[in-house]
Structure 1
Amino acid sequence: MITIFKSDTSGRLTEIDSIEHGSWISMINPSDEEVLLITQKLNIPQDFIRAALDEEEGSRIEFENNATLVIIDIPFTEMDDNSLTYDTYPLAIIYTESVIITVCLKNSPVLSDFTIEKISSFYTFKKVRFMLQILYRASNYYLLYLRQINRKSLLVEKTLYKSLKNRELIQLFALQKSLVYFSTSLKSNDLTLEKLLKQEILTKYDEDRDILDDVMIENRQAIEMCSIYSDVLTGTMDVFASIISNNQNQVMKYLTSVTIVISIPTLISGLLGMNVGGIPFFNASDGFLYMCIIVGLITLAVTYYLRKKDMF
């Protein structure tokens, strides 16, 4: 899908039907025909657009035919088995003399925030500024999703203390996997930002340089947070794996104690029920009552002993 936007001098964004100078071309999972159309009209390599359609594409910068390709990994959230999962996908930003192009496999809030005019001081014709604002927005979403992951892990931890199942551990493992994806992408983005810092076109204006510095600060803060949360989750999973095992041992100990207590009257009644002589209180009229009292006392004594041994 191709959508073309252009903002006026007042910053109001409108959707237009054709490519104009200073416009923004947003490509979301474009077809082969759409890729061919844009590359022929703007004289840019097809590889620049197709690179962002590969989920495994790494972050990098490339120059060709007076066009600059910047690929970064941006965060996404998805629903999987009624649970929110986190992943990253490549976003290509293609800078040319006339337009700026963004290419992504899925519609991302990083870009949709611009289309709904949520970003202030945003102009499509200020292409360098726009590119830096996209990078800054991506870093903000990394930080937002990292905080969400941390909150989710705290909620899962509260249920783990009394849990006997592996469901919560699996949820923590999914969060840890998301942190691994984030960490890999953030470190790759950091290298790309370092290369951008050396480009003269991005340091032409002090204001643009300040935005790039802010992007690098946010990105490195996200890397640090990701590392901390990953270490905490790893330690948490190890501890709670032991807690779940200990909880299961406690249950088995309790059930074993109950089995021992129940087996006492069963054993005595089985012995007294044998058709042989010498059974205590065989001829007594209240013999059954006496035996019930004796069995009850023995059961209470065993229960008290097991209780003292912390078996209950």
Structure 2
Amino acid sequence: MIKNYELSENKNLVSSDEMKNFTYVLNPNREEIGEVSEHFKFPFDYLGGILDDYENARFETDENDNNLILLQYPSLSEEGEVETFPYSLVWTTNENVVLALNHEFDKKILFDRVYDLKRYKHQLVFQIMYQMTHTYHDYLKDFRERRKKLEVGIKNSTKNDQIVDMIAIQASLIYFEDAIDNNLDVIQKFIHYLREEDEDGFADRIYDVYVEMDQAYTETKIQLKLLENLRDLFSNIVSNNLNIVMKIMTSATFVLGIPAVISGIYGMNVPIAFQDYKYMLWLILGLMILICTLITWVLHKKDMI
């Protein structure tokens, strides 16, 4: 899908039938990528890189002075898990901006602002990069809340439900760590390029994106460590809880076995002492209760039940 936008008289983005100021390419096929690449005269792989979910982040400038910055951003996969995917951001020599990606993102911020006609390209590039970076923080916040719920839920857990959620979060964080690390390297190269081109003002804005990305990287590493510790704690708690359950069941089986032994003896089809005593049933029941109570008290004092 290709959507085109241009700056209106009110200096905001509006739909257009032509590829002018901003072209938004979502989940494209090779034909659509070829159409956009041919129109703006930049290499096919500038946008074609997003067809590979594992494409490495990079920054390139071609012979026509078209610039590409390809970075990774987080989104839900088809399996419902949070993974990272590439997006291509191209600003052409004739002041156009092209964004191509395979998963929708919240682009409302791009259309809710007024642009400077002379620097709209810089403003668009910054807003897109900042929004994509902020998406990491949104998912990290969600992971943090899920981890806190897991910490509360595992205290009395003997099931594997929590560890399945931990594995899903940990897998996403591993994707984040690798993607953000690559993004940071590319953004540094981009900042260096801008300073060489005397774009210090724009470089300072992109540095803000770098700071946000670096914060996300730090939090990702912290959450990974916390999650690893939580998984170890979970294993210990589950093992301890199972030991407690088995201890209680073993003690209960031992205590309940006493009435079974006594009942078995007095249930034998042979002559037994006091068998003609009319209160013998109640005497046997009282004796069983007394013995069970005494044994239960002894087991409790020894912390065995």
- Does TM, normalized by the shorter one, top 0.5? yes
Cα offset, 1:310, TM superposition: 2.2
Q: Tell me how far apart the structure 1 counterparts of residues 274 and 114 of structure 2 sit (CA, whole Å).
A: 96
**Letter matched to residue 173 of structure 2:** L
Counterparts of 1:122 and 1:183 in 2: how far apart (Å)? Answer: 35
Task: Determine the C-alpha separation between the residues in 2 that align with 1:167 and 1:122.
Answer: 52
CA contact (8 A) 1:52 1:90 kept: yes
- Secondary structure (helix, strand or coil) at the match of 1:199 reads helix
Write the distance in 1 (CA, Å) between the matches of 2:76 and 2:191. Answer: 29
Q: Distance in 2 between matches of 1:281 and 1:121?
A: 104
Residue 32 (structure 1) shift = 2.5
CA RMSD across the alignment: 2.1
The correspondence for 1:35, drawn from 30, 33, 36, is: 33
2:206 maps to 1:212: yes
Alpha-carbon deviations, 1:94-146, whole Å to 9, x = none?
1211211111011122xx2345x245657796223321222222222212221
Cα distance in 1 between the residues matched to 2:147 and 2:109: 31
Query: How far is the alpha carbon of 1:91 from its aligned partner?
Result: 0.5
- 1:272 deviates by 1.3
Partner of 2:90: 94
Give runs of aligned pairs for residues 143-292 of structure 1, distance below 5 A.
Answer: 143-200=137-194, 204-277=198-271, 279-292=272-285
After TM superposition, where is structure 1 displaced by more than 6 Å over at least 4 residues in a row?
122-125
| Shift in alpha-carbon separation, 1:113–1:202, aligned structure 2, 3 A | farther
Aligned partner of 2:23 in structure 1 is: 25
Aligned equivalent of 2:297: 304
Quote the offset at 1:286 in angstroms. Answer: 1.6
CA contact (8 A) 1:268 1:295 kept: yes
Whether the 8 Å contact between 1:7 and 1:124 is mirrored in structure 2 is: no
User: Which deviates more from structure 2 when the two are superposed, residues 182-191 or residues 283-292?
Assistant: 283-292
Deviates more, 1:63-72 or 1:200-209: 200-209
> Which residue does 2:102 correspond to in 1?
105
SS in 2 for 1:311: coil
- Which amino acid letter does the alignment assign opposite residue 100 of structure 2? V
CA offset digits 1:235-262 (Å, max 9, x no partner): 1110111001111111111111111121
Structure 2 match to 1:142: 136
Partner Cα distance (1:192, 1:9) in 2: 35
Distance 1:103 1:274 in 2: 86
Q: Please state if 1:75 is matched with 2:69.
A: no
Structure 2 unaligned spans of 5+: none
Identical-pair percentage: 27
**Compared CA separation, residues 172 and 156, structure 1 to 2 (3 A):** same
- Partner Cα separation in structure 2 for residue 77 and residue 118 of structure 1: 25
Structure 1 CA distance for aligned equivalents of residues 77 and 52 of structure 2: 18
Letter in 1 for 2:75: F
SS where residue 299 of structure 1 aligns? helix
State TM-score, norm by structure 1: 0.90
